[in-house]
Amino acid sequence: MSRKQKKTLGRILLSAALLIAAWIAPIDGSWKLIAFMVPYLVVGYDVLWSAIRNILHGQIFDEQFLMAIATLGAFGVGEYPEAVAVMLFYQIGELFQSIAVGRSRRSIAALMDIRPDTATVLRDGQETVVSPEEVALGELILVKPGEKIPLDGEIMEGTTSVNTAALTGESLPVDRTVGENVVSGSVNLTGVITVRVHSVFAESTVSKILTLMEESAAKKAKVEGFITRFARVYTPCVVTGAALLALLPPLLFGGLWSEWLERALVFLVVSCPCALVVSVPLSFFGGIGGASKQGILVKGSNYMELLSKVSVAVFDKTGTLTKGEFKVSDIHPSVVDERTLLDIAAAVESFSSHPIAASIVRAHNGHIDKSRVSDVKELAGLGLSAVIDGQTVCVGNGKLMDSVHAKWHECHLPGTAVHIARNGEYLGHVIINDVVKPEAKEALTRLKALGVDKTVMLTGDRIDVAKAVQAEVCVDEVKAQLMPDQKVTAVEELLDPKATVAFIGDGINDAPVLSRADLGVAMGAMGSDAAIEAADIVLMDDKLTKLADAISIARKTMRIVKQNITFALAVKAVVLALGAMGFANMWIAVFADVGVLILAILNAMRALSLSKK
């Protein structure tokens, strides 16, 4: 509990004690007024001062004004205990609100406590401790076990395990060694590592995530914006209604002024909209915090609301439904055996950095004698040619085979075919396929179970490859051989006022499509600047099942929001009617206002513990 909260609690307890003393004291007249005014001022002086200050600034119709006019009016009609009780319970509600908001902020702050305080930079052979902002691009930093990795970079020396829980929600550590990247905000667990910095602090993963979380509160959901606008219109209306309730019956029907004034005061206390104004944004804030615990970053409550309504899910293939890792799936020799064909292909491809070439070298998994290979040429759009043991070898696509008059043929299997010819003689081909993520089918099944009506896969790959992936992951529809601009067009064709379309991609080259869909979701985005900036929702690890978790959390958050709105409006409507008819006193009004506020806050706080379960 903060110092301010402790001070408020102390005032509440002191005021309650003074209220009880004034209640049982055998006093009357002016002394009774003074006895009750003391606890009233102890607990409510700040509310009165805020009301006066806001009036002077032209902000009349707010909750402080309602509380001030209602309680002072109660004193005016001799309802001293009720006046103090209203202010006392109002402050209890404010304390609950403060604690709830503080808990929400601390939850997110603890989760996102990933900002490193210092960095140990190696300069002229010396270790120098500086602020991460002072480390330049390309410098070497030393990270010891137990320290947060301050900046994104590549490991140059050392091997370690890294805890990425604050970024991905995944508690299991991951191993990292020389040549592999590490991202800021994760924790070095075991070994000392030397890291070459890839990005300055302002452009690092941790900095972008912290900025994202700070800005998320500014992006309000439609329902949240509606509540804000509703309160601005609602409060003046109920003040006007209370004034009419106090004046018209005595003037028109000869009712007692004191009776109708008391009814008007009850009307004012009940009408305070703080339960709605406080609990709705608090519910969204809690939902965003609960999602963050799962490694799901939501850039604002407006995106949380959209996420709960997703009915069409559009997936990029490579890097999203598949790993983006090419693998040799089949070897089909014609005039040599499989091992010889792979030896020849790997020898040539070892001179290329292309991912397909790397997959062939990995499949060879043996020593490659590069001294046998000479005169390597990269033929744009075709493949490679080289000389091995004095013989010309070509490795590439069908067009390359045609150019050397090799009698090649298409393969009946889906995938990318790499053809091999030697001195114009066709030796065979190797089939390369992108590996489908093992959880992809489960992820799409879970989306269907959540009521997502349609799933679509977009890819620039061939239709036969796309169909093979479709059969494996059970996506409803595929669109293949698409250029980047055609992917945008494909998403636009799916947009419908009655549907919410989410596009899910790896965030690296999908920025135009991410921004064109109703909701852009980037996954596997740890360390990807483009993903963090382009998407509305960021899944920090590479698990596709997190999408279903995100939708589930969003829907639970929206249920809590709707529960609070329905409950608050229903109770207030009933008590407002009872108060106007004289069946509700000030104590019932206190419950209808502060009681509803506290219950709504407690319900909103459940959003903090939301998870995929």
- Looking at 371, 402, 435, the residue that finishes a domain is 435
Residue at 233 is within a domain = no
423: left (phi over 0), alpha (psi -120 to 50) or beta: left
CATH assignment at residue 329: 3.40.1110.10
Q: What is the pLDDT of residue 51?
A: 82
CATH assignment at residue 182: 2.70.150.10
Which residue type is seen at 463?
I
- 503 token code pair: 């596009």
Q: What is the pLDDT of residue 509?
A: 61
The dihedral formed by the CA atoms of 77, 81, 87 and 90, expressed in degrees to the nearest 10: -120
- What is the average pLDDT across 35-49? 90
Question: Could you confirm whether 343 is annotated as catalytic?
Answer: no
- The closest alpha carbon to 168, from 499, 584, 529, 523, belongs to 523
Helix, strand, or coil (residue 476): coil
- Looking at 384, 403, 435, the residue that finishes a domain is 435
pLDDT at 69 over 80: no
Residue at 234 is within a domain = no
Q: How many whole angstroms separate alpha carbon 485 and alpha carbon 83?
A: 66
Taking only Cα atoms into account, the Rg of the chain, rounded to an integer number of angstroms, comes to: 34
Which of 232-241, 383-392, 578-587 is the most confident on average? Answer: 383-392
Burial level of 472, CB count in 10 A (0-12/13-18/19+)?
middle
Helix, strand, or coil (residue 382): coil
- Count of domains observed in the chain: 2
Q: How many whole angstroms separate alpha carbon 70 and alpha carbon 266?
A: 7
Q: What is the pLDDT of residue 322?
A: 86
Contacts 24+ apart (CB under 8 A), 595-600: 595/89, 596/275, 596/567, 596/568, 596/571, 596/572, 597/93, 597/96, 597/97, 597/274, 597/275, 597/278, 597/279, 598/92, 598/93, 598/96, 599/567, 600/275, 600/276, 600/278, 600/279, 600/564, 600/567, 600/568
Residue at 165 is within a domain = yes
Residue at 349 is within a domain = yes
Q: Which domain holds residue 419?
A: 323-435
**What is the average pLDDT value for the chain, to the nearest integer?**
82
Burial level of 158, CB count in 10 A (0-12/13-18/19+)?
middle
Residue at 180 is within a domain = yes
3-state helix, strand, coil in the chain (%, to 5): 55, 20, 25
For 348-381, the pLDDT digits (tens) are 999 988 878 889 999 998 888 888 899 999 887 7
Q: How many whole angstroms separate alpha carbon 434 and alpha carbon 356?
A: 10
Q: What is the pLDDT of residue 226?
A: 62
- The closest alpha carbon to 288, from 211, 209, 208, 217, belongs to 217
- Looking at 142, 170, 198, the residue that finishes a domain is 198
Residue at 351 is within a domain = yes
Predicted confidence band of residue 76 (pLDDT cuts 50, 70, 90): confident
Q: What is the pLDDT of residue 85?
A: 80
For 493-543, the pLDDT digits (tens) are 999 888 999 999 875 567 778 878 899 898 865 545 555 666 788 887 778
Q: What is the pLDDT of residue 190?
A: 85
For 399-430, the pLDDT digits (tens) are 899 999 999 998 888 888 899 999 999 999 99
- 496 token code pair: 């419908």
- 184 token code pair: 């800021």
For 379-390, the pLDDT digits (tens) are 877 889 999 989
Which of the residues 113, 117, 124, 316 is marked catalytic?
316
Q: How many whole angstroms separate alpha carbon 297 and alpha carbon 521?
A: 10
pTM of the model: 0.69
Q: Which residues pair with 330 in a beta bridge?
A: 431
Q: Which residues pair with 290 in a beta bridge?
A: none
Residue at 125 is within a domain = yes
For 157-191, the pLDDT digits (tens) are 999 988 876 666 555 678 889 998 888 888 898 88
Residue at 443 is within a domain = no
Percent of the chain, pLDDT > 90? 28
